[in-house]
């Protein structure tokens, strides 16, 4: 008899997942950070050429993160906020990647990225138990790379592998990797960080850029890259840009992969082991 209908993870894993989600919500309740819920579907999507969206014909796109909508809430006067729920990306399927996964994203008013790094570490310690953290710069990661390649991304990934196990914050990203982070210093570097645990990327955060002209410049560059790569051209999210013109309050934000965090907690080797019914890629119209 076929067992294709059965979940890919155990019922005990679902219980442990529920405990983790409850602990996360308790963490933010203690801090007074407001939980919000935004739409999984929107008319527009991100322009980042490295992120591939799932299109719903005649409707819009499944959201790759709640970032734009959360920032619109902040511009409208919301306090520090977080959202935990499903997001969708049409990317390579593998042990650490899925078309649908659970993202925890939060924004702290009047925080810079280093204050937010401390809070990320506090959350991770609460979920996984305390441990030491190492802090390395993006340039130092490249120095650890043994990749013989002109591809900076490949060198970066190779460098992460060579940094070994443990909890590592990578900081001081170059301008080309700034995404939506502010620039700081001389020479300027992106106020951005990533948390890597045992070689797995867990979180990506910024001291958020709110300057509308610089945002417009960066989005236009991304659209040019998309055109050069023959990727679908997206219209800029007019509502998001109007909110940024109205004014994003000073804040830092971070996105954290809940499924990957649970994988590390349980010693699992794939996202499918911690999700009941992972989506099969062939049923998605991308």
Is pLDDT at 282 greater than 70 in this prediction?
no
Give the mean pLDDT of 41-67: 95
Quick: pLDDT tens for 214-223.
999 999 999 9
Write the class of the CATH domain 11-283.
alpha beta
Q: What is the largest CA-CA distance in the chain?
A: 66
| pLDDT given for residue 237 in this prediction | 95
Give pLDDT tens digits for 7-48: 999 999 999 999 999 999 999 999 999 999 999 999 999 999
Q: Please report the pLDDT score of residue 281 as a whole number.
A: 59
| Spatial distance between the Cα atoms of 151 and 140, rounded to a whole number of angstroms | 16
Give tens-digit pLDDT for 102-158.
999 999 999 999 999 999 999 999 999 999 999 999 999 998 888 777 777 777 878
Provide the pLDDT for residue 92: 67
Check residue 280 and give its pLDDT.
67
CA–CA dist 272, 98 (Å, integer): 8
At 41 the three-state DSSP class reads strand
Tell me how far CA of residue 232 lies from CA of 54, 70, 92, 97, 187, in angstroms. 11, 25, 18, 22, 34
Alpha-carbon span 202 to 195, nearest angstrom: 6
What's the chain's average pLDDT?
A: 93
- The pLDDT assigned to 285 comes to 46
Q: Judge contact between 197 and 264, C-beta under 8 A.
A: yes
pLDDT of residue 286: 45
C-alpha separations of 253 from 70, 97, 202, 209 in Å:
10, 22, 14, 10
72 in Cβ contact with 89 (< 8 Å)? no
- pLDDT on residue 158: 82
The count of other CB atoms within 10 Å of the CB of residue 99 is 20
pLDDT above 60: residue 202: yes
* Orientation of helix 113-128 relative to helix 11-31, angle to 10°: 140
Among 70, 74, 71, 72, smallest CA distance to 83 is for 70
Considering the entire predicted model, what is its pTM?
0.94
Cβ atoms 209, 182 nearer than 8 A: yes
What tokens appear for 70 in the block? 């959360």
């Amino acid at each position: 008899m076929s067992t294709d209908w059965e979940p890919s993870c155990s019922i005990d894993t679902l219980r442990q997942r529920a405990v983790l989600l409850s602990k996360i919500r308790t963490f933010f309740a203690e801090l007074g950070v407001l939980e919000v819920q935004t739409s999984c579907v929107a008319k527009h999507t991100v322009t980042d050429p490295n992120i591939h969206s799932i299109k719903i014909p005649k409707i819009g796109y499944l959201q790759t993160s709640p970032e734009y909508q959360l920032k619109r809430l902040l511009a409208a006067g919301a306090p520090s906020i977080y959202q935990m729920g499903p997001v969708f990306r049409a990317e390579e399927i593998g042990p650490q990647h899925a078309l649908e996964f659970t993202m925890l994203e939060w924004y702290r008013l009047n925080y810079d990225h280093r204050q937010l790094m401390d809070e990320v570490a506090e959350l991770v310690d609460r979920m996984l138990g305390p441990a030491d953290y190492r802090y390395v710069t993006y340039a130092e990661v490249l120095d650890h790379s043994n990749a013989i390649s002109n591809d900076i991304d490949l060198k970066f990934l190779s460098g992460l592998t060579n940094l070994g196990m443990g909890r590592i914050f990578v900081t001081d990203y170059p301008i080309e990797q700034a995404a939506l982070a502010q620039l700081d210093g001389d020479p300027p570097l992106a106020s951005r960080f990533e948390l890597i645990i045992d070689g797995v990327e867990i979180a990506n955060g910024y001291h958020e850029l709110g300057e509308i002209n610089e945002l417009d410049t960066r989005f236009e560059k991304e659209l040019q890259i998309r055109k050069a790569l023959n990727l679908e051209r997206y219209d800029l999210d007019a509502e998001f840009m109007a909110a940024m013109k109205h004014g994003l309050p000073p804040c830092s934000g971070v996105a954290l992969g809940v499924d990957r965090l649970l994988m590390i907690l349980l010693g699992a080797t794939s996202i499918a082991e911690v999700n009941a019914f992972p989506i099969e890629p062939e049923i998605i119209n991308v």
